Structure 1
Amino acid sequence: MQLLRLPDGRDLEYEVRGPSTGPVVLFHHGMPGSAVPMDTVLGSMTARGFRVITYSRAGYGASSPATGRSVADTAADCAFLLSRLGVERYLVVGWSAGGPHALASAAVAPANVEGVLVVASFAPFDARGLDYVAGMGAQNVAQFGTAGQGEPAVHELVGQMASAVRGHASSDVAAEMASLLPPVDLAVLTAEYGADNAVNMDHGLSGGDEGWVADLAALTSPWGFDLDAVTAPVELWHGTADQMVPVTHGRWLAERLPTAQVHLKPGQGHLSLAIGSLGEKLETLSDRTVPLR
């Protein structure tokens, strides 16, 4: 994969897949994750002619850590990357923890982002009227329960969770994540996607747990932008069976994103909603976009 030197001296790891002349898509990965392209995730996009740029958030893979990074800070890193690649207009996709970062991209670079696809996205941690962890599996309840307990508690729990997935086969990962997986997601994780995901996560965690710790801090702190700053068309998708990010998060976001077309899919989970269908979802978004002037 490739490295870009950022203005503050940090390195940002990225990769590009798909046709060189296709519409450009910036893909924001989940938590944990990395720039490693996953065919089971990107294939439906590149097959439809999209050129997909993946990257590793600060602290994951070969991307330098960034102490105290916010969601908006990551979006600014990505805006610089796209600018250096000579891309003026692009779509953004965010899945899971990538969802807030995709919305941030639209807020940080409104003159460049033509549309936003968010799939199974988290809502803000301080979202008024939302019971943040209600409906989450035990692992995520524990993970987000460390917010406010101090860095040692966060590092300890994230270290335990990282050890449970780093270097393990997808079947072992599925066993560790059992409380987060309805049957539809278990079927996805134990099929081809599971192997792709293991490689992606292993690379993200290859230098340690810093990226995961920083992600958790960013998600549970102010994001650094207001949702009403997102003026580009938004396609918002969420599965009603999601046990990683419950559908209540999607409903909360849907009520506060005025440009969002909302798709709440009965019986779909966190993984089943995305694998094999992001390209189709992107085409729906593309139909709504008007080239920015």
Structure 2
Amino acid sequence: MFKRITFILLVGLLAWAYQAARPPPPNICGSPGGPPVTAPRIRLRDGRFLAYMEHGVPKQVAKHKIIFVHPFSSSRHDLIITISISPEVIEDLGAYIVSFDRPGYGESDPDPKRTAKSLALDIEELGDQLELGSKFYVIGYSMGGQCIWKCLQYIPHRLAGAALIAPVINYWWPGFPANLSSYAYKKQPPQDQWALRAAHYIPWLTYWWNTQKFFPKSSVVSEKPENMFSRQDWEIIRNAKVSGREKHKAYATQQGEAESIFREMVVAFGSWEFDPMDLQNPFASNEGSVHLWHGDEDKLVPVEPQRYIAEKLPWIHYHELPGGGHLLPAADGMSEIILKALLIKE
């Protein structure tokens, strides 16, 4: 009798654990009961839809065509690269910028088969369907900056130039010395260390780990500002330069967190098919350039791994900003400096 009761309890516990770890299905835009489709969208090679938004000068007259990749828990509306740039400067540069909702975010369909390579191919197809030409620029911020490594690996032949702004790093990239990755990893709050371990080692538990109530989840997911922002970041927030993001916060994850932020964590911190530190210069003839921008007081993404990457890849133009935090592109004049460095050849 005791063994039978134990068996029943064990089966019940496993059934509960399975249900708790299993995320709810996504609430697809345009499906019955799902969020409405309001954005222009393209249909991708596998039938998924990708939502986008156009900014700057008309692409028909643009000198430079740019695809912007948004950060974590964000959307096509969060074009932080334009916060401190006047429309007149954008016009003078002749810049056309298209932002898009990454898979599972906003109004872009989820991609349950998403990999490091698939997003780069999404970006390439976006450029093709919008007729941006044989080459275009890519700019990514934070988690979007991490995505630029994937473009440099998988579609370098399509790039006119690239900018990575405070790009998130993967502590398990094999090119990092063990002591450096360990040092940078331990600079993260303890709950973030555990959340990243879950995403890397037990990805199928990522949703449960960040939604359970037993212990603290990722501070980034729960948006605890004391762990995220530097002195410069707080000054930017006080000046309300990034306040507009709040109204689009719910929009970003309206199809569900499982296929947006949590799948992104799995892809970002899982095992990659390549190591960014093995990349070759896509602009060996100096026909374009790659820039990496980072603040030395960034509390969200440690600066030390970026310095190491810059040493390993000397063809990258590395810009380290003293006193800069994670909201670096929203600082006075920074977005203009970043754009001009990428677009204007000296």
User: TM-score band, normalised by the shorter chain?
Assistant: 0.7 to 0.9
Query: Residue 147 and residue 264 in structure 1: after superposition, are their counterparts in 2 closer, same or farther (change >3 A)?
Result: same
| 1:207 matches 2:255 | yes
Deviation per CA, 1:97-132, whole angstroms, max 9, x where unpaired? 111212222332222211111111123332321224
| 1:31 matches 2:72 | yes
SS of 2:54 mapped into structure 1: strand
Q: Name the structure 2 match of 1:264.
A: 320
- For 2:343, the aligned partner's letter is S
Alignment TM-score, normalising by the size of structure 2: 0.73
Query: Residue 6 and residue 215 in structure 1: after superposition, are their counterparts in 2 closer, same or farther (change >3 A)?
Result: same
- For 1:6, the aligned partner's letter is L
Q: Name the structure 1 match of 2:206.
A: 154
Alignment of 1:76-87 (within 5 A): 76-87=121-132
Aligned-residue CA RMSD (Å): 2.7
Q: Is the 8 A contact 2:191 2:218 kept in 1?
A: no
Unaligned stretches of 5+ in structure 2?
1-38, 284-288
Q: Name the structure 2 match of 1:246.
A: 302
Q: Is the 8 A contact 1:16 1:51 kept in 2?
A: yes
Aligned-residue offset at 1:220:
1.0
SS of 1:117 mapped into structure 2: strand
For residues 106 and 149 of structure 2, what CA distance do their matches in structure 1 show? 23
2:160 aligns with one of 114, 117, 123: 114
Query: Residue 158 and residue 61 in structure 1: after superposition, are their counterparts in 2 closer, same or farther (change >3 A)?
Result: farther
- Larger Rg: 1 or 2? 2
SS of 2:169 mapped into structure 1: coil
Q: Is the 8 A contact 2:84 2:330 kept in 1?
A: no
Q: Name the structure 2 match of 1:169.
A: none
Aligned-residue offset at 1:36:
1.4
- For 2:69, the aligned partner's letter is H
Alignment of 1:53-202 (within 5 A): 53-88=98-133, 89-127=135-173, 128-129=176-177, 130-131=181-182, 132-137=184-189, 140-148=192-200, 150-151=202-203, 153-159=205-211, 176-202=224-250
Query: Residue 77 and residue 124 in structure 1: after superposition, are their counterparts in 2 closer, same or farther (change >3 A)?
Result: same
Unaligned stretches of 5+ in structure 1?
167-172
- For 1:109, the aligned partner's letter is I
**Matched residue count:** 280
Q: Name the structure 1 match of 2:7.
A: none
SS of 2:328 mapped into structure 1: coil
- For 1:134, the aligned partner's letter is K
Aligned-residue offset at 1:249:
2.7
Q: Name the structure 2 match of 1:278.
A: 335
For residues 99 and 66 of structure 2, what CA distance do their matches in structure 1 show? 9
- For 1:198, the aligned partner's letter is E
1:231 aligns with one of 282, 285, 295: 282
Q: Is the 8 A contact 2:140 2:163 kept in 1?
A: yes
Query: Residue 266 and residue 250 in structure 1: after superposition, are their counterparts in 2 closer, same or farther (change >3 A)?
Result: same
